[in-house]
Amino acid sequence: MKKKVLTVDDSRTIRNMLLVTLNNAGFETIQAEDGVEGLEVLEDANPDVIVTDINMPRLDGFGFIEGVRKNEKYRAIPILVLTTESDAEKKNRARQAGATGWIVKPFDPTKLIDAIERVTA
């Protein structure tokens, strides 16, 4: 069975890059455009791992992660934060919200796949 990845990012460019990279690496990819949509599609998507941006309209990455962690079914799911914010403060906030790990942009396919494999069995 292919592993399912839910990506949450408001940038169409990044969404497409994630899609191409993940599909090429043999993942099934479900995409959402912001935190609100991410939480909406979560149940139906039933992902194995989540990759999310931080800066998004409506509901940002921090809020989204908190929302996922509140969901009993998905609270133990690995969540990777995809962001250019690499400073400790933001990383810490993401962790406090419940992020499993992070990937620092600029977007690099190898880094992404490595990090996903690191948190999924």
Name which of 26 and 72 has its Cβ closer to another protein. Answer: 72
Name which of 19 and 25 has its Cβ closer to another protein. Answer: 19
Q: Min. distance of Cβ 62 from another protein in angstroms?
A: 13
Residue 33 DSSP one-character state:
S
Q: Radius of gyration over alpha carbons of the chain, in Å? A: 13
How far is Cα 23 from Cα 104, in angstroms, rounded to an integer? 20
> Are 35 and 8 within 8 A, CB to CB?
yes
HSE (CB half, 13 Å, CA atoms) of 20?
A: 8
Name which of 26 and 87 has its Cβ closer to another protein. Answer: 87
Which residues form the interface with another protein (CB under 8 A)? 10-14, 16-17, 19-20, 36-37, 39-40, 43, 48, 55-57, 69-73, 75-79, 84, 86-87, 92, 95, 98-102, 104-107, 110-111, 114, 118-121
Name which of 25 and 105 has its Cβ closer to another protein. Answer: 105
Q: Min. distance of Cβ 20 from another protein in angstroms?
A: 6
The terminus-to-terminus CA distance of the chain in angstroms comes to: 13
Q: Min. distance of Cβ 58 from another protein in angstroms?
A: 8
Percent helix / strand / coil, the chain, rounded to 5:
45, 20, 35
Q: Which two tokens stand for residue 29?
A: 């990819």
Q: Min. distance of Cβ 31 from another protein in angstroms?
A: 13
